[in-house]
Amino acid sequence: MNFDLTPDQKALQERIREFAQAEIAPLAEKLDRDAVFPTELFTRLGDLGVMAIPFAEEHGGLGMGVFDAVLAIEELARADQSIAVSAMVSIATGMTVARFGTEDQKRRWLPDIVAGRKICSIAGTEPDAGSDTAGFKTRATEIRSGVWSLTGEKAYITNPGTDISSFTLILSVSSPREEPRKQYTLFLVPNDTPGYTRGEKYRKMGWRSSDTRPLHLDDCQLPETAIVGQKHGGRWVLHKGYQAARLFLSACSLGLAQASLDHSIAYAKSRQAFGGSLGRLQLIQEMIAKMALKVDSARLVTYRAAWQVDEGREDLMALSMAKLHATETGSEVANMAIQVHGGWGFMDDCPVSRYLRDNRICTIGDGSSQIQTLLIARECGLDVTFN
């Protein structure tokens, strides 16, 4: 086994780290406070090539792998998880189009996403259904040959309402109402489609500068050419998109956990207490040592899962382990970082305070920790039933 990054991967990692620490990290507190999507800063990610990493060169991409994208997202999240999650959702959505879309869909929609000029989103979650995709109610009806009408509501969707938002992939129930078993179709819905509206952005605990809104569909009519993948095969396509998002969300938590450790080490060295540096106290040393171990183990499972994807081995257990362990580690390490920082850690202007708020959703979104636990148990051969 070789755990070393290649020279190209090291150069990519360093280039994005330098940009993120110089240009994103100093703005993170203000972005969190203002809760406004940073359009100009996001488009600079496109100039840097971040959004192009896992896409084919024919679509303007760099032709690199998922592992390389994970390295980039980790570095973004080390500076600010909000912008990292905005980027990772757009990348995961674009990858879904690249993998399952028609050639026309790819030509029309991917170049702007890959270049970072536009941003996109994927919408599964509804007010009454999240991980339980069988509970979705948004309905697509074929009102005449080749024309579909979508009606329903989606909730907690990332990226749909910015001034550079392009389209959303929306999963809808497409089987007739009288059929006992639901079937689903995934539609590419441009932002300017009549009948498709974005609600007011949510007031959130974290990820405040990332755009998150409810979506409303009222007789939103689309041609059959808007279908991504096969008609009635959308649930499977959505789950494939979620698998990529889970891996990228693992990288988001990993970057945040590393940042929590970075700040804790620096603070322990500089803070004076009891006649010397805070870091000379053994209980502080114990906390930092535990944080370092948790971060390193989260990195190993995340990198392994990403490497397997690039090798063509989409190991569901590895993906679920990465999602479960890295996201839980992010919250655990951020919480320990607050303890190291003491009273200052409780203040909004202390980065680790923001880290704890930001990472809290990571254990819920794209399949909660409980769902990942069940998936792991199922892959172990136990009798776990999903609808």
Q: Which CATH number characterizes residue 216's domain?
A: 2.40.110.10
Q: Do residues 228 and 240 share a domain?
A: no
Q: How far is Cα 90 from Cα 84, in angstroms, rounded to an integer? A: 10
- Is a pLDDT exceeding 80 seen at residue 119? yes
3 state SS of 331: helix
Q: Do residues 226 and 241 share a domain?
A: no
Q: Which residue, 169, 202, 233, sits at the end of a domain?
A: 233
Q: Which residue, 203, 233, 263, sits at the end of a domain?
A: 233
Q: How far is Cα 212 from Cα 229, in angstroms, rounded to an integer? A: 26
Q: Check residue 241 and give its pLDDT.
A: 83
- Is a pLDDT exceeding 70 seen at residue 386? no
- Residue 386 included in any domain: no
When the pLDDT of each residue in the chain is averaged and rounded to a whole number, the result is: 95
Q: What is the pTM of this model?
A: 0.94
- Is a pLDDT exceeding 60 seen at residue 314? yes
pLDDT bucket at 70, cuts 50 / 70 / 90? very high
3 state SS of 156: strand
- Residue 65 included in any domain: yes
Q: Check residue 352 and give its pLDDT.
A: 97
Average pLDDT over residues 30-50: 96
Residue 165 backbone phi and psi in degrees, to 5: -70, 135
Enter the tokens of residue 248.
Answer: 């990228």
Check which CATH number belongs to the domain holding 65 and give it. 1.10.540.10
For 204-250, the pLDDT digits (tens) are: 999 999 999 999 999 999 999 999 999 999 999 988 888 888 999 99
Residue type for 194, please?
P
DSSP letters for 15-37: HHHHHIIIIIGGGHHHHHHHT--
Q: How far is Cα 86 from Cα 6, in angstroms, rounded to an integer? A: 27
- Is a pLDDT exceeding 70 seen at residue 387? no
Q: Which residue, 104, 119, 134, sits at the end of a domain?
A: 119
Looking at the structure of the chain, the number of domains it has is 3
User: Over pLDDT 70: what percentage of the chain?
Assistant: 99
Q: Do residues 115 and 142 share a domain?
A: no
Q: Check residue 292 and give its pLDDT.
A: 98
Domain residues for the domain of 72 are: 7-119
HEC string of 95-110? HHHHHHCCHHHHHHHH
Q: Do residues 246 and 223 share a domain?
A: no
- Residue 210 included in any domain: yes
Enter the tokens of residue 262.
Answer: 């970075």
- Is a pLDDT exceeding 80 seen at residue 133? no
In sequence order, the 6+-apart residues with CB closer than 8 A to the CB of 366 are 242, 245, 246, 249, 323
- Residue 387 included in any domain: no
Q: How far is Cα 272 from Cα 262, in angstroms, rounded to an integer? A: 18
Contact, 138 vs 126, CB < 8 A?
yes
Enter the tokens of residue 251.
Answer: 């990288």
Average pLDDT over residues 65-94: 97
For 274-302, the pLDDT digits (tens) are: 889 999 999 999 999 999 999 999 999 99
Q: Check residue 1 and give its pLDDT.
A: 74
Q: How far is Cα 21 from Cα 221, in angstroms, rounded to an integer? A: 44
- Is a pLDDT exceeding 90 seen at residue 128? no
pLDDT bucket at 2, cuts 50 / 70 / 90? confident
Average pLDDT over residues 104-121: 97
Q: Check residue 291 and give its pLDDT.
A: 98
Residue type for 321, please?
M
